Amino acid sequence: MFRLILVEDEPRILRYLKEKINTLSSDFKVVGMYNNGEDALVELHWTQPHAIITDIRMPVMDGIELIGKVRHKLPDIQCAILSGHDDFAYLREAIKLGITDYLLKPAADEEITGLLSKMKERLMLNQTLLEREVTRLIVDSPDTLFSQDSAWMEVARELFYYGNYVLIYSWSPIGDIPDDFQSSCSALLHNGEKCTRLPSPAAEAIMLIGVHSWSKERQLEWIHLITRSLHNTCATAALAFSPAGFVPISELLSSCRKLVPLKIRFEGHCFDLADSTLEEFPLLLESLQPAWMRLAHFIIKQQKQLFVKEFDTLFAGEYREQLPVTRRGWEKLLLHISHSLHSQLKNSSEFHFDLKQAMEQEMTEEVWKLQTMAELQMQVREIWSGYFFRSEQERNLQRDWAKDAKQYINDHFRENISLPGIADIFELHPAYLNRVFKRAFQLSISDYLVQLRMEAACLFIREHPFVLIKEIAEHVGYLDPYYFSKVFKQHTGLSPSDYKNSGI
């Protein structure tokens, strides 16, 4: 039920503690084991523990310092000390930090049971912590929350008691949701209604609002307000109403997460989940056939100026009113045109499969990362300029740039390097160098750099199993161990400490 981490520099005692806790209590799950305080602190954002049991005297960071720093990040956490030293000075410092208990090694089973029971009792009295945990389960583990034997469901019913709820889910492909989004959503609350922000990644904002009543007029008022608050962003929000209380929220959230990426535009807006319809444009594809036939003709004839003129007409000319409004629609349209062009150019040896695949991948990435339609038009024009033959000298030069950039990354990935810095060395625009690199190796410079660093980090951990996470990060070019830990888990599926303990 509650997450617990253990910090102890003796592996034998660490394993013993985990086994005892698993045996003595079903209320706590050990989610992290560390042999020093610094590593525990680095991974705190992943483990998000409710409780911690730590030794005092450890290398790098002792238990007293660790508890102080953990309390700064997680004020509601329950902390206990298990030490081999009956030292009044340590005990006094621990009391100042408000620890749950101070046990001496070796602790008997009844002492450990009593400690866990005391921790649980204090955690159950903390409404803020319980509310945060229930909302986390709504987002990440609804099956756990709503299972028949879930102890959390009883807690959830006490905390979330409104008969009606409104779920507001907002997502942006570039993560530009306003900081005051919650206050915008709260602006139209009536007396006694409550807005709770659910935990979510940076690109999302999820609000759960308990309301006394709901109407079509109120729905339109909220949609207008939220659209206005997202006006200068690329975020899209979905509004979903639950007249059946708290239980359907997870299902509504799942529906919002599926639908919003299909409805998202280049400018912020809000829609109601029940009123949503997906964008369809089969007639547009048919009406565009003469245009892409002309584009293919200009490519075959290598008439670049006429191609660019036709391309600009496609974006801003007679077809403008028929063009998609969503990013998903633009992705679908551009890929359809690209496939159509490729079918006309299939007999040309200049346009081999890898080049076509790279161009389509670039277009998809640009659709989802750019902020405006004007930027998209410029980038797609640049990508499709690759259809026009370059001199053999220029093509060789591009291959050399890609090869040299790869060699530079191989030689310097342990340093604090990035795409703009690498591009400066070659005196090229970062986007252009990245495009050349991707066409050569089917991988962006940033992705290749991360891949190289993570492979080196895994090797370093296997060769030095007791090394600190901070040292691993510095070894592969990361100045921030917290950021390194995040990237490592995204790449391997395991946190650095779990990777150490896995023996992979």
- Express each pLDDT in 315-345 by its tens digit: 776 677 778 889 999 998 898 888 888 777 7
3-state secondary structure of 342: helix
Omega before residue 282 within 30° of 0, cis: no
Count the Cβ atoms, other than its own, within 10 Å of residue 202: 9
State yes or no: pLDDT of 420 exceeds 60: yes
Place domain 160-275 in its CATH homologous superfamily: Reverse transcriptase/Diguanylate cyclase domain (3.30.70.270)
In the chain, domain spans: 2-125, 160-275, 282-387, 391-504
Is 7:54 a contact under the CB 8 Å cutoff?
yes
Label residue 269 by pLDDT band (50, 70, 90).
very high
Per-residue pLDDT of 162-185, as tens digits, reads 999 999 999 999 999 998 899 988
Q: Which of 211, 328, 204, 219 is nearest to 256 (CA)?
A: 204
Count the Cβ atoms, other than its own, within 10 Å of residue 150: 16
Q: Can you read off the two tokens belonging to residue 452?
A: 């190289």
Please name the helix (run of DSSP H) or strand (run of DSSP E) that holds residue 164, with its range, or none.
strand 164-171
Per-residue pLDDT of 271-319, as tens digits, reads 999 988 877 766 667 777 888 888 888 888 888 889 888 888 887 766 7
Place domain 2-125 in its CATH homologous superfamily: Response regulator (3.40.50.2300)
pLDDT at residue 328, rounded to an integer: 92
Q: Can you read off the two tokens belonging to residue 367?
A: 């659709």
Alpha helices per DSSP H over 189-303 = 216-229, 249-263, 282-287, 289-300
Label residue 28 by pLDDT band (50, 70, 90).
very high
CA dist 82 and 54 (Å) reads 6
The CATH fold assigned to 391-504 is: Arc Repressor Mutant, subunit A (1.10.10)
| pTM of the model as a whole | 0.80
The yes-or-no answer to whether 160-275 and 391-504 have a common fold is no
Rounded average pLDDT over 30-36: 90
Q: Can you read off the two tokens belonging to residue 473?
A: 């990060």
Label residue 391 by pLDDT band (50, 70, 90).
low
Cβ partners under 8 Å of residue 313, min gap 6: 291, 319
Count the Cβ atoms, other than its own, within 10 Å of residue 444: 17
Instruction: Select the more confidently predicted residue: 110 or 348.
Output: 110
